[in-house]
Amino acid sequence: MTGMSVEGVIDLAACPIGDGGFIASCRDQLDSDGVVTIPGFLTAGAVHDLVAEAEAGRKDAFFTSSTHNVYLTPPRPELGDDHVFNRQITSSKGCITTDQVPAASGLHTIYDSPEFRSFLAQVVGEDALHEYADPLSSINVHYAGEGQELGWHFDNSAFAVTLLLQAPEDGGAFQYVRDLRDADSNEMNFDGVAAVLDGDEPPVTLPVTPGTLVLFRGRNSMHRVTPTIGDRTRILVVLAYNAAPGIALSEAARKTFYGRLG
């Protein structure tokens, strides 16, 4: 689908992704806040079509409930079960993968668009961005029905792009605590993480409406999505890129997230 126009999918009048001033303002927002939100990024028509498409694809979703620590690593038994490093968090959701998104979907149009990739690369400060080498990990659609949630975690990737398609009646809030650890220097900040998990350090809640693009640096900012309340499913798209070509998501992660390798 490379080369198909994003016009009609992205609201280019409101979000001029090729404009130097717009790019600079997004980069400044990311640098100062650790997150950029662009409300109204998708046109109303695109939101409508993508929700219908996602509803139709839901029967193919892989639903899992799993437990993990906030660092998304295996436990370290020598620290003891009570240590914050080993504290188990629950996450539950459904997911469909790149290969399950219809070929004519606007999601492929956005993901493959050279203009969109160039916009993102300039905002995050990379020379270029590349798709995943495996057929699953580039575009994911997440479904969170009543009671489902994404527990507290730090991402492995440096940044993530999400597009909310449908908000639940209540709950499903994206919450974060900025710069809580420093992965590059291996500073885990156990006390700070415990304070958030115990409710002693209140998180920031990011207001997000359908059609909003969120670009978030989640490697050092711990975040979660609160449980969906009500019958309407939270539907969210994650667009994932790499700074280098030819990188696949690890087999262990693919098994966990998608239940298969390809």
Task: Decide if 46 contacts 8 (C-beta within 8 A).
Answer: yes
Residue 110, interface with ligand AKG (CB under 6 A)? Answer: no
Closer by beta carbon to ligand AKG, 23 or else 69: 69
Residue 111 binding result from ligand AKG, Fe ion, none, given CB thresholds of 5 to 8 Å by partner type: none
Cβ at position 150, least distance to Fe ion in Å: 7
Nearest distance in Å: CB 116, ligand AKG: 19
Quick one: what does residue 174 bind among Fe ion, ligand AKG, none, with the CB cut-off 5 to 8 Å set by partner type? Answer: ligand AKG
Pick what 236 binds: ligand AKG, Fe ion, none; C-beta below 5 to 8 Å, kind-dependent.
ligand AKG
Interacting residues with ligand AKG between 211 and 240 (CB under 6 A): 218, 223, 225, 236, 238
Q: Which is nearer to Fe ion, 93 or 108 (CB)?
A: 93
Give the binding site for ligand AKG (CB under 6 A): 142, 150, 155, 160, 162, 174, 218, 223, 225, 236, 238
Give the binding site for Fe ion (CB under 5 A): 155, 218
